[in-house]
Amino acid sequence: MAIDLIIINSLFVLIDFKNSSYLREYLETFFINPAYIFSLLSILWIGITFFSKFYEVYRFTTEIRIFSLIFNQFFVFTLFLFGIFGLTDLSISTYNLFGFIFSSLICVSIVKFFIFYILRKFRLGFGANYRKIIIIGKDNSTDELEEFFNTKKELGYNHFKTFDTKKNFSLAEAVNYISRKNIDEIYCSVEQLNSSQIRNIIDYCDNHFKTLKFLPRRDNLYYKQLDFQNYGYSTVQSFRKNPLEADTIYFFIKRIYDIVFSLIVILLILSWLTPIIAILISLDSKGPVFFKQLRNGYKYKEFHCYKFRSMLVNDDADEKQATKGDYRVTNFGKFLRASSLDEMPQFINVLLGDMSVVGPRPHMIKENLKYSKTVNKFMLRHSVKPGITGLAQINGYRGEIETEKDIINRIKYDIYYIQNWSFILDIKVTIKTTINFLKGGEEKAY
């Protein structure tokens, strides 16, 4: 924090105010009471960090999360600065103010990422700044966590041991091991311990200054995160609010992004591409240029999802999902599907508000009815608008659902996206999708 405060205050002094009517007043204020402007900027910066959680960066924090923190911090910082200078007589040109904000953004970002990466290099190069950890419990969740610790050495975790609670497990032996090896953090699977063991491990960690973390029951899917509130002296847990609820600022930011991005695609690409594709579709087979299909969207409401027609006109279009080598797919349709150009008309859906650029892919109504009964948490994916692309798609889970594992992993990514949404995450998914589109040849693009 101290480095950031030095940066923003120094840049405010160094920024060029020669053409600003504020120069004389600023200089007088600076030389008479230099703490005046420094205090204003510092208090504003520190106050915002309490709400943006700007300094809550840990060794397991991802680059995307850091980008999101920087964006949120400077977005609010900018609003407050313009409000302060707009409502007071401290006149300063918009050009100079933007110059100060932009230079601060660049410098703070460089410092933040420099420290982030230098710590990673320090851990890998010198084996220092490591946290000794153990895992108590053996199941799918702990296996994934163990693999994470063992493959991400740069994060600074040294995994010592995993205790299998199903094989003659003794909590006393685990506690003795923690003491002998001076373990820093203990990760416990809630599903593998009984209530008495959980209470005992909590008591031990409280009395010996150990960090204790739990892996919740997940049934192969992510659970909603919990918020804690105090009702008098009573603590109450509630499900954390979806960040993309219609009454949040994040919903507004995402909608603005959807409108701007879809307009760019429609005006600059679809405006000339559609007539060309329409001619080629008509030459290849009989039928309409566009194909529309009822799908479930936000809060399970039905809407017509648009595509360029890639199949022969058939009675099974709304019932049967396309498979590899599907006879219904036309010659030109194979190219449309392999290149994902058939999805382009969905930017019209985005502009109309039925879809978003990024979000869980909308399924056919028949598939929704099927999987809502067999896959836990399936309906949670309808708590946001469906997307043209999504986190599941850029991780290989697109197209035909061949096994139950395909749909479970797709839902896992969808739920993770919903609960961890950020504007930067949307940008990342959009960029990765664009790269995949330009590369072509995705395995399930048929």
Give tens-digit pLDDT for 6-26: 887 777 767 644 444 444 455
Same domain, 341 and 403: yes
Q: How many domains does the chain divide into?
A: 3
Judged by average pLDDT, the poorest of 110-124, 217-231, 307-321, 400-414 is: 217-231
* Sign of CA pseudo-dihedral 316, 322, 324, 328: positive
- Asked whether the beta carbons of 364 and 289 are under 8 A apart, the reply is no
Read off the pTM. Answer: 0.60
Tell me, what CATH number does 148's domain have? 3.40.50.10700
Q: Give, as one character, the DSSP assignment of residue 402.
A: -
Same domain, 136 and 178: yes
**Residue 229 falls inside a structural domain:** no
Higher pLDDT, 46 or 387: 387
**Residue 224 falls inside a structural domain:** no
Q: Are strands 234-239 and 226-231 parallel, antiparallel or unpaired?
A: antiparallel
> 124: closest CA among 148, 152, 146, 147?
152
Residue 259, Cα to own-chain centre: how many angstroms?
A: 20
Residue that has been written with the tokens 């899917």 in this structure? 221
Structural domain of 382: 249-439
Residue that has been written with the tokens 């693009």 in this structure? 445
Tens-place pLDDT, residues 375-433: 877 888 888 999 999 998 888 877 666 677 778 888 888 988 988 888 888 998 999 99
The 3-class secondary structure across 62-107, one letter per residue, is CHHHHHHHHHHHHHHHHHHHHHHHHHCCCCCCHHHHHHHHHHHHHH
pLDDT for the residue numbered 303 = 93
Same domain, 253 and 209: no
Q: Which residues pair with 214 in a beta bridge?
A: 188
pLDDT > 90 in the chain, percent? 17
pLDDT for the residue numbered 17 = 47
Same domain, 99 and 170: no
Q: Give, as one character, the DSSP assignment of residue 292.
A: E
Which phi-psi region, left, alpha or beta, contains residue 156 (left: φ > 0; alpha: ψ -120 to 50)? left
Same domain, 16 and 152: no
**Residue 376 falls inside a structural domain:** yes
pLDDT for the residue numbered 211 = 84
pLDDT for the residue numbered 343 = 92
Q: Which 3 state secondary structure label does DSSP give 311?
A: strand
pLDDT-derived band at 290, boundaries 50, 70, 90: very high
Same domain, 51 and 146: no
- Asked whether the beta carbons of 128 and 119 are under 8 A apart, the reply is no
**Residue 240 falls inside a structural domain:** no
Q: Average pLDDT in the 83-96 region?
A: 64
